[in-house]
Structure 1
Amino acid sequence: MTLAIYNSLGREKQPFTPLHPGMVGIYVCGPTVYGHAHLGHAKSYVSFDVVVRWLRQSGYRVKYVQNITDVGHLSDDADEGEDKIARQARLEKTDPMEIAQYYTRSFYEDMDRMGVLRPNIAPLATGHIPEQIALVEALVKSGHAYEVNGNVYFSVESFPGYGKLSGRTDLEAVQSGARVGVRSEKRNPSDFALWKKAEESHLMQWSSPWGMGYPGWHLECSAMSMKYLGETIDIHGGGMENRFPHHECEIAQSEAANGKPYVRYWMHNNMVTVNGTKMGKSLKNAVNLKEIFTTINPLAIRFFILQSHYRSPLDYSDAAIAASTAGLQKLRETRQRLQGATAGTGAMNVAPFRERFTEAMDDDFNTPVAIAALFDFAKALNAALDRPEGLDQPSLGAAADLFTMAGVDVLGILEHDSGSIGNGAGDRQRLEGAMKVLMELRSAARSEKDFATSDLIRDGLKAAGIEIKDTREGASWSALSSQ
């Protein structure tokens, strides 16, 4: 089976063929950095992290670009309202650069804790003002854009393909424009801003051919994606809520400027709900990641997200998180048991489980089915290890390779050292040395029927985040997954 991707442009699964053999360019809309990351951000960036990981696992050289929006995203998500960064700067009585830098660092801290790989390139909107001005100039010159009183608008009527991604009709586009308070200076209510005139008090503004101003929100992604990935890119990702107007406007301005298809495969992740209700800051139910991480292992959140397909909604609840935490712990325990097993004479065919995992990932990155295959593998592995003959070295090696490929390299839900205690080889070595001594002391106590000492060691280690399990093969230990 070859990789198939659900293309929002066409609304169907399509075989994936990159523009250049062996290479993939992917652009994902990054965060607007005016607040701490929430679960909606986690859903999007964990989902696309797995997309990138699987493409690399499949042998592609991937160039991953994810922008940082630090100017131009207005409070109404259209052409009206206050810039979100500037508004936050005003509220915190500081300047926009400090706001953007502070929340950018915060964003990456949270993504790092969930194992989200950094993009190859993370361009800032404010760092690409010349490229954005050049794109606007090209659109004005070709007749696709016009200037009025220092504002520059894209003429939707000049681009017949407007609406092909979202399916919006001209009437719906006009109504959408009317709802956000259309400027009378627009030729058409559905025209959108490429460049905005800045008042003297505006905190972020740059010199341009049309006077002092700042770029529109939609402009930055076109300018930066084409700068780093070319005029036609393989994959563009983002939230489903961005299909209209943001991505529709990207298509219009990019294809009008270049006369070429802008994106070959559009991918959109679905939203997050909280106990069945749509999550949002205005509803005061947005789940802040930093708050979640005080009680829940970030990798348990990652595992929770991947148990839902990226195109499906994700419902956050205490029960769902508890189930994910328990499920992840079972996988960790099985992997640790495998790592501690000694070679026997039995055999296990791992290939069917690898094939099931691969087929699921090739089917539009179907992580829930891939995870189900991994659990079935773990169940079969435990059964094989329970048998008196155990598993021979080739079977143990193949099982370890599958755990590493699926759980570590692709899904990113298991650590390379299979535990969360210790941050490096030296730490791990010292921990294992200390645990060896404690396990020997406990074994000696049990042999002498000194169960009080045995239980004291067990309970003390559990309080420190280490669980001991007694099996027919002997005692084993593993790090608890709570934090």
Structure 2
Amino acid sequence: MESKLTLYNTLDRRKELFEPINPPHVGLYVCGPTVYGDPHLGHARPAVTFDLLFRYLRSLGYKVRYVRNITDVGHLEHDADEGEDKITKKARLEQLEPMEVAHYYTERYHRAMDALNVLSPSIEPHASGHIIEQIALVKEILDNGFAYLSNGSVYFDVEKYNEKYHYGRLSGRNLEDIVTNTRDLDGQGDKRHSYDFALWKKASPEHIMHWPSPWSEGFPGWHLECSAMSTKYLGERFDIHGGGMDLMFPHHECEIAQSTAASGHGAAKYWIHNNMITINGQKMGKSLGNFITLEQLFTGDHKLLAQAYSPMTIRFFVLQAHYRSTLDFSNEALQAAEKGLDRLMKGVEALGKIKPSANSTVDPSDLERRCREAMDDDLNSPMAISALFDWVRIINQLVEGKQSITEKDLEELKRIVRHYVFDVLGLMDEKAAAEGGKDLVTPLVDLLLEMRQTAKANKDWALSDKIRDDLTRIGIRVKDRKDGVDWEIE
């Protein structure tokens, strides 16, 4: 299969032509959430970014196995190796079983993803369900001489690994820099070096989640789960590994080291990282008071929010920026996204109002070429949206009779617009989808406008003006044209 898709490979720091290992099959692994709290604005960006990649790969004809994990064990409070497990802490504070906490927040994450129209992955494995695979991987790394046992815990020997391979290739760091910048933490006495990381941790007596292993009753290190589960479902070599830029170091760096230490080679051919969302120029964090959950965005229930924002507004807001650029949240930015989305959806709706002509003054293939080139250029969704906006203007000209299009070209234009708006960008017409997709507004407005046309024909100007003014007052703008009447919701 010929593809012109280029992706920025973090591993090599350059755009590369996407060439699957086993076309037309594509293996895609993305780091999913740690389920100990409500999904927030920061979860929206990687979810939408890799949903966009998933959708576009499928639109190109690839058969994609998309694996997105759920972290429900091993992610510790202070750093990757020390502190209390985040889910265990939540369970202790709320007097619940850890799996109750994990299940509750996994379900809330799924509902938020459904609202954002994020497709379900092909496989969604849980770390706690793959302890056997993680233990087996630790054994391989130990057997190959890249790990050591210390007081019931197993640690990865970064220095030993770095002698044969390069630890830091993904993040562009070298071991000397890592040594300089690694802070000493309490409890690291079991490690040979502060930069070594846990593959298996011996559980303390108060630790709730633990499993038997050849080394101790304990639990896997956070980095281990992704190496084990990506190998299980995608093989020792697969195409794409994705996640947020905040995971590049140490999480993804450690994943590469683990996989290479076990098999002698890296696992993913392409590494893709989305950039962060900031809020008024600051990193989002609970301590800063700018931590906003997706539910708060949808309801407007947060002190930083001027209003509620629909899920599609959030999705469109994310898509308006290239996934590798920083995206800064503000009410002004979201309000602009809301208006832009409304303009785009009105353009889609206007397609149904175009009357075909005997000839075309426009060429729909121009839109398809521009959208395809934009998406092929490292998923440049802002450029694809720009092309769609240019064609919204043309669509309005077609509705007004300022341009013409044949019936065949019109059907092609409808296909292209709907393909990129709905199938690739994953947007939905929320107004049309309201009440289970039953549109009650359109027939009622059309009925009133028929009454107005009758009033005008009877020269009952008072009634005609009253219908127009009443519709305007409730937010429906009436537009009289030479060939009839049109309307839109303001």
Going from structure 1 to structure 2, the CA distance change for 1:479 and 1:65 (only over 3 Å counts) comes to farther
Question: SS in structure 1 opposite 2:223?
Answer: helix
Distance 1:79 1:442, change over 3 A: farther
Q: Does structure 2 retain, via aligned residues, the 8 Å contact 1:196–1:213?
A: yes
Distance 1:215 1:451, change over 3 A: same
Correspondence for 1:399: 413
Q: How many angstroms apart in 2 are the aligned matches of 1:390 and 1:288?
A: 47
Asked if structure 1 preserves the Cα contact closer than 8 Å seen for 2:397 and 2:403, the reply is no
Of the three residues 457, 463, 479, the one matched with 1:470 is 479
Match of 1:195 in 2: 200
Instruction: Supply the distance in 2 between the matched residues of 1:403 and 1:435 (Cα, whole angstroms).
Output: 26
**1:130-279 superposed matches below 5 A:** 130-159=132-161, 160-181=165-186, 183-279=188-284
For the pair 1:307 / 2:320, whether they are aligned, the reply is yes
Query: Structure 2: which amino acid aligns with 1:101?
Result: H
Instruction: Map residues 54-73 of structure 1 onto 2, 5 A cutoff.
Output: 54-73=56-75
Residue 305 of structure 2 corresponds to none
Match of 1:41 among 40, 43, 57: 43
Which of 392, 399, 420 is residue 378 of structure 1 equivalent to? 392
Q: Deviation of residue 109 (structure 1)?
A: 0.9
Using the TM superposition, give the Cα deviation of residue 283 of structure 1 relative to its aligned residue in structure 2, in angstroms. Answer: 2.1
Distance 1:410 1:8, change over 3 A: same
1:25-77 per-residue CA deviation (whole Å, 9 max, x = no partner) reads: 00000000111111111111101111111111111111100001011011123
**C-alpha distance in structure 2 between counterparts of 1:29 and 1:54, whole Å:** 19
- CA distance in 1 between partners of 2:66 and 2:150 (Å): 37
* Partner AA of 1:413 in structure 2: L
8 Å Cα contact 1:182-1:189 kept in structure 2: no
| Aligned-partner SS, 2:190 | coil
**Superimposed CA distance per residue, residues 203-251 of structure 1 (whole angstroms, 9 cap, x where no aligned partner):** 1111111121111100000111111011111000011111110000000
Distance change in 2, residues 1:442/1:104 (3 Å): farther
Letter in 1 for 2:375: M
* Partner amino acid, structure 1, of 2:60: S
- TM-score between both structures, scaled by the size of structure 1: 0.92
**Are 1:79 and 2:81 an aligned pair?**
yes
Alignment of 1:16-31 (within 5 A): 16-31=18-33
The range that moved more, 189-198 or 72-81, is 72-81
Distance 1:120 1:438, change over 3 A: farther
Task: Write out per-residue CA displacement over residues 87-126 of structure 1, whole angstroms, 9 at most, x where no aligned residue.
Answer: 1112222121111111111111111111111111111111
Q: What's the CA shift for 1:476?
A: 4.0
Unaligned runs of 5+ in 1: none
CA contact (8 A) 1:65 1:120 kept: yes
**Is the 1:47–1:310 Cα contact (8 Å) retained in structure 2?**
yes
Partner AA of 2:159 in structure 1: E
* Separation in structure 2 between the aligned mates of residue 114 and residue 287 of structure 1, nearest angstrom: 16
Judging changes above 3 Å, is the alpha-carbon distance between structure 1 residues 353 and 389 closer, same or farther for their aligned structure 2 residues? closer
Verify the 8 A CA contact 1:335 1:418 in the aligned structure 2: no
Question: So what's the TM-score if we normalise by structure 2?
Answer: 0.91
Give the letter aligned to residue 11 of structure 1: R
Give 1:316's match in structure 2, choosing from 318, 325, 329.
329
Distance 2:389 2:116 in 1: 21
Distance 1:321 1:376 in 2: 21
Distance 1:77 1:207 in 2: 23
Contact 2:141/2:258 (CA < 8 Å) preserved in 1? yes
CA distance in 1, matches of 2:44, 2:53: 14
Q: Say if 2:88 and 2:209, in contact at 8 Å, map to a contact too.
A: yes
Q: Is the 8 A contact 1:78 1:180 kept in 2?
A: no
**Distance in 1 between residues matched to 2:456 and 2:33, nearest whole Å:** 55
Q: Which runs of 4+ in 1 moved over 6 A?
A: none
Identity over aligned pairs, percent:
47
Q: Among 339, 342, 353, which residue is 2:352 paired with?
A: 339
Equivalent position SS for 1:327: helix
1:410 and 2:452 equivalent? no
Structure 2 contact 356–407 (Cα < 8 Å) conserved = yes
CA distance in 2, matches of 1:103, 1:479: 37
Which position in structure 2 is the counterpart of 1:118? 120
Q: Which of 93, 100, 103 in structure 1 is aligned with 2:102?
A: 100
How many pairs were matched up? 472
Q: Deviations over 1:383-441 (max 9, x none)?
A: 233226743212221221111111111111244x97232324xx34x665555444434
CA RMSD of aligned residues (A): 2.1
Q: Which runs of 5+ in 2 are unaligned?
A: 300-307
Aligned CA distance change for structure 1 residues 471 and 63 (closer, same or farther; 3 Å): farther
